[in-house]
């Protein structure tokens, strides 16, 4: 439920959620003076809506308290990381409307210092080089109910450990043949404290440090220390790190770090009918289930942008989420309604026909076109109007005609009269079919006295339909999207890949759109095609080969179909 956004304590600090309450407390007690947060992505994939929650939280909190928010790449695993992801992440954070403090930072900027701190742990008998294999380490670790067993290498001397660790750095050993472990407590109730691995050998080039290193710190050994180096006051992360907090604190207590940050955990964002896990999104991309990280069906920031979703809509969606410790699934409908609300206010209206049916107005002069004045937004005169050409031959939507309509069908049928939006009343006089019985054309008449959409005799029609004149239409390919997954929580039962919605994209060729659509370039704000939804130009769209993405329909049709 959206919470009141005006909750403030007597000092003016927001009491919106437990994190802000904690910050208020820390400022009041003096344990924090400047609020510094960070968004710490690992550059091994594109950002998704879950990251957007973390981004909005970290940047907004810093802004609210007059502090700063850093962008820090958690680049400690070169095997999966790539400069491509570093670039995409920066682009996405900026597009969402946030500015990080100073230059982007990298955990790898601190590799030398982290190495020294690892040596410090060795010298103080708090770390050792272990020769056990990864499997052996797992076996020795024990379980939640069984304490772990100490490694036979646990009691090497500091001198020996320093020498071995130095040799690891110098490339004397194969991947996996040795690790550096913190020496904490193999019987701890918290498995993360059972001598966690803090350095591993990876003969792998790093996007930033190249081949300088062949040993890399683990996430746990880098994260808190980097927070400390950056003087982060509140290190915000998701709940799965709660069990790592004692380890985070252990490193801060046992190393000569410059500041003492604290970690706070909040629940992840989950959204229905999609997946928000980099591992799964990576699989969708690499195994070709989607066209790439920016496929418009993907819940990635790049995908949403390509689909025409404005960043403001994402921010207002995120702003309605509660920051708490309880896990749940947010309905995709909530995101959709934020998108519709935004686009309804901001987008220009145009007319277009997705599944065209030709009509000929028999009593309209041949070779004549007239200009109809059509408002660009029905509720906003300040958006102005444009002239749309009207003529004897028009396209209307196939769905707007029924040969044998039920009583409540207020659109066109034989002998029925409807209004063409901002034009005339027309009546269907004859239905033309091809030899297989398909309707290929309608013959209609119009009432010249109804120009602009009203009859002087006050006669009413029950329906208004959109149209495009044949002479002034441009062709476009239109791509319609729906949920990527059929079930609300993909993979809750069985393999999530089996939940993929095979018809999540429908491609319509030869759609007919009013000519001004050629103003719509890749990256332009989405427009509304009246009665059909909001559309943007896809990145591959060209002036003579228009490709439109439907950002979203005007109403939620999914709920209806799947009831």
Using Cβ positions, the residue closest to ligand ATP within the complex turns out to be: 50
Indicate the residue among 242 and 398 with the shorter CB distance to ligand ATP.
242
Binding site for ligand ATP (CB under 6 A): 40-42, 50-51, 53-54, 74, 237-238, 268-269, 276-279
Residue 333 C-beta: closest distance to ligand ATP, Å = 18
Phi, psi of 455 (to 5 degrees): -95, 130
Indicate the residue among 91 and 136 with the shorter CB distance to ligand ATP.
91
Residue (of 459, 466, 432) closest to 362 by Cα position: 432
Looking only at the bridges linking them, the beta strands covering 425-433 and 439-447 are antiparallel
- Tokens representing 555 are 């109403």
Q: What is the dihedral of CA 16, 18, 21, 27, to 10 degrees?
A: -130
Indicate the residue among 40 and 296 with the shorter CB distance to ligand ATP.
40
- Tokens representing 288 are 């070709």
Residue 58 C-beta: closest distance to ligand ATP, Å = 8
Residue 74 C-beta: closest distance to ligand ATP, Å = 6
Indicate the residue among 95 and 153 with the shorter CB distance to ligand ATP.
95
* R_g of the chain, CA atoms, integer Å: 31
Residue 543: HSE in the Cβ half-sphere, 13 Å Cα cutoff: 2
Indicate the residue among 56 and 182 with the shorter CB distance to ligand ATP.
56
Residue 269 C-beta: closest distance to ligand ATP, Å = 4
Residue 250 backbone class (left: φ over 0; alpha: ψ -120 to 50; beta: rest):
alpha
- Size of the chain, expressed as the number of residues it contains: 563
Distance between CA atoms of residues 482 and 501, nearest Å = 8
Residue 411 C-beta: closest distance to ligand ATP, Å = 43
Residue 226 C-beta: closest distance to ligand ATP, Å = 12
Distance between CA atoms of residues 245 and 263, nearest Å = 7
Q: What is the dihedral of CA 516, 521, 525, 531, to 10 degrees?
A: 40
Helix (H), strand (E) counts: the chain? 13, 25
Indicate the residue among 72 and 178 with the shorter CB distance to ligand ATP.
72
Indicate the residue among 217 and 413 with the shorter CB distance to ligand ATP.
217
Angle ∠(528,529,533) on CA atoms, nearest 5: 70
Residue 264 C-beta: closest distance to ligand ATP, Å = 11
């Amino acid at each position: 439920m959206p919470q009141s956004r005006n909750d403030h304590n007597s000092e003016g600090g927001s009491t919106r959620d437990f994190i802000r309450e904690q910050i208020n407390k820390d400022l009041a007690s003096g344990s924090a003076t400047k609020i510094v947060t960070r968004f710490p992505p690992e550059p091994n994939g594109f950002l998704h809506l879950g990251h957007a929650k973390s981004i909005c939280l970290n940047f907004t909190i810093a802004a609210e308290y007059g502090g700063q928010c850093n962008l820090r790449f958690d680049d400690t695993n070169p095997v999966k990381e790539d400069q491509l992801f570093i670039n995409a992440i920066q682009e996405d954070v900026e597009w969402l409307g946030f500015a990080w403090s100073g230059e982007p930072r990298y955990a790898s900027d601190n590799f030398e210092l982290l190495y020294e701190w690892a040596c410090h742990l060795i010298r103080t008998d708090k770390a050792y080089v272990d020769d056990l294999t990864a499997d052996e380490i797992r076996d020795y670790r024990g379980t939640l109910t069984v304490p772990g067993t100490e490694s036979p290498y646990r009691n090497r001397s500091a001198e020996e450990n320093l020498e071995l660790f130095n040799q690891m750095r110098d490339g004397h050993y194969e991947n996996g043949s040795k690790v550096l472990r913190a020496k904490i407590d193999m019987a701890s109730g918290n498995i993360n404290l059972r001598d966690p691995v803090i350095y591993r050998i990876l003969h792998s080039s790093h996007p930033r440090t190249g081949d300088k290193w062949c040993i890399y710190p683990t996430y746990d050994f880098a994260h808190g220390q980097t927070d400390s180096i950056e003087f982060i006051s509140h290190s915000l992360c998701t709940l799965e790190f709660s069990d790592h907090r004692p380890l985070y604190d252990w490193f801060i207590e046992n190393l000569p770090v410059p500041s003492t940050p604290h970690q706070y955990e909040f629940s992840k964002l989950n959204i229905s009918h999609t997946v928000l896990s980099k591992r799964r999104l990576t699989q969708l991309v690499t195994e070709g289930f989607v066209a790439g990280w920016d496929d418009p069906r993907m819940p990635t920031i790049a995908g949403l942008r390509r689909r025409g979703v404005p960043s403001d809509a994402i921010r207002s969606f995120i702003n309605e989420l509660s920051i708490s410790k309880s896990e749940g699934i947010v309905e995709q409908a909530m995101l959709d309604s934020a998108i519709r609300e935004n686009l309804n206010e901001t987008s220009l209206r145009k007319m277009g026909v997705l599944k065209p049916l030709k009509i000929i107005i028999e009593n309209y002069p041949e070779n004549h076109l007239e200009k109809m004045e059509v408002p660009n937004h029905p509720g906003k005169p300040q958006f102005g109007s444009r002239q749309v050409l009207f003529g004897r031959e028009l396209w209307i939507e196939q769905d707007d005609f029924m040969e044998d309509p039920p009583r409540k069908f207020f659109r066109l049928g034989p002998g029925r009269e409807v209004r063409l939006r901002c034009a005339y009343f027309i009546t269907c006089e004859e239905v033309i079919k091809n030899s297989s019985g398909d309707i290929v054309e309608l013959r209609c008449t119009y009432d010249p006295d109804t120009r602009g959409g009203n009859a002087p005799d006050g006669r009413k029609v029950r329906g208004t339909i959109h149209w495009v004149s044949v002479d002034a239409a441009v062709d476009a390919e239109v791509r319609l999207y729906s949920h990527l997954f059929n079930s609300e929580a993909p993979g809750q039962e069985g393999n999530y890949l089996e939940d993929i919605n095979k018809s999540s994209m429908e491609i319509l060729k030869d759609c007919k759109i009013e000519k001004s659509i050629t103003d719509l370039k890749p990256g332009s704000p989405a427009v509304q095609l009246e009665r059909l939804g909001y559309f943007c130009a896809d990145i591959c769209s060209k002036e003579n080969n228009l490709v439109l993405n439907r950002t979203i329909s005007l109403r939620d049709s999914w709920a209806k179909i799947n009831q």
